[in-house]
């Protein structure tokens, strides 16, 4: 019984450390931007998706159009004229490295870390 308690404490500490690391990692990369690629080429770079008010941009290509909205650290596809609507139904992307893909339009939206994150990293 005593052994179980000990293991519970060890396991609890490990979980607590993991949670702390994840939260700290997110706080560190709080300045987020986004990059929008069409056909593997950079179509538009958004410096920050952290604004309180939601902004939207219309991406028109020969394949079709997507209305992309961003704000409060998230980016998503509000509407599009693609057949499958996968990008519209996709969850909002908010983590650095996560992306939304619209395969029919060859569109990729990627959340990236804010510019100059290496220079102003001192805490």
User: Rounded to the nearest whole angstrom, what is the least distance from the CB of residue 61 to Zn ion in the complex?
Assistant: 12
Q: Which is nearer to Zn ion, 65 or 114 (CB)?
A: 65
68 scored as a contact of Zn ion (CB under 5 A): no
Task: Quickly count: other Cβ atoms within 10 Å of residue 89's Cβ.
Answer: 8
Give whichever of 34 and 87 is closer to Zn ion, judged by the CB atom: 87
Q: What is the CA radius of gyration of the chain?
A: 19
3-state helix, strand, coil in the chain (%, to 5): 30, 40, 35
* Selected range binding Zn ion among 27-35, 91-99, 101-109, 110-118, rule: CB under 5 A: 101-109
Residue 94 in contact with residue 88, Cβ under 8 Å? no
Closer CB to Zn ion, 49 or 100, in the complex: 100
Which residues sit at the interface with Zn ion, rule CB under 5 A? 80, 82, 87, 102
């Amino acid at each position: 019984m005593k052994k179980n308690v000990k293991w519970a404490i060890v396991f609890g500490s490990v979980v607590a450390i993991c949670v702390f690391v994840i939260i700290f990692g997110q706080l560190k990369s709080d300045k987020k931007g986004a990059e929008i690629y069409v056909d593997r080429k950079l179509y538009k770079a958004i410096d920050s998706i952290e604004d309180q008010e939601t902004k939207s941009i219309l991406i028109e290509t020969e394949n079709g159009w997507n209305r992309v909205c961003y704000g409060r650290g998230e980016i998503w596809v509000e509407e599009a004229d693609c057949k499958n609507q996968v990008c519209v139904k996709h969850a909002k992307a908010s983590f650095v490295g996560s992306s939304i893909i619209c395969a029919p339009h060859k569109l990729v939206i990627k959340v990236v870390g804010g510019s100059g994150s290496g220079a102003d990293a001192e805490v």
